[in-house]
Amino acid sequence: MLDMTSETVLVVCNDSKLADELLEALFRNGVDAVGPVDSARMALAVATHGQPTLAVIANPPTGRRGAVELAQALERDWGIRSWILDDAVSERDRTAGDLAWSANPRQIEGLRRVLGRSDEIDAVCL
């Protein structure tokens, strides 16, 4: 089982109730978190200062970038891989076949365990 306490998770979420639930689950399990932020612009800004090691994109970010575009930018610019929850996937994201931005399977399994989620972005995008 992956020890998630070595991760700092950037939470991208524009729903305050869901953001609170995600943060509470992370903190309860000893995982550091930054955010929540609701826009791709803020997520990229926080990535420069908050030093997250992983991102959870819970719903579509506000602004011009979709969830996959944000995940691609986080990975390309900062080396931060992402797990995109099913509710964050837009029609535009469904055609994005490149999953280089995706968190590795061990990180995803750790997040599933910590957050009590079973979202499958890989299946949605392929």
Where do the domains of the chain lie? 4-125
Task: Name the more confident of 62 and 122.
Answer: 62
Distance of alpha carbon 89 from alpha carbon 77, whole angstroms? 21
Q: Is the pTM of this model over 0.75?
A: yes
Task: Name the more confident of 7 and 105.
Answer: 7
pLDDT at position 1: 47
Per-residue model confidence as pLDDT tens digits over 12-38: 999 999 999 999 999 999 999 999 999
| Encoded tokens for 116 | 């009590």
Per-residue model confidence as pLDDT tens digits over 47-57: 988 889 999 99
Quote the CATH superfamily of domain 4-125: Response regulator (3.40.50.2300)
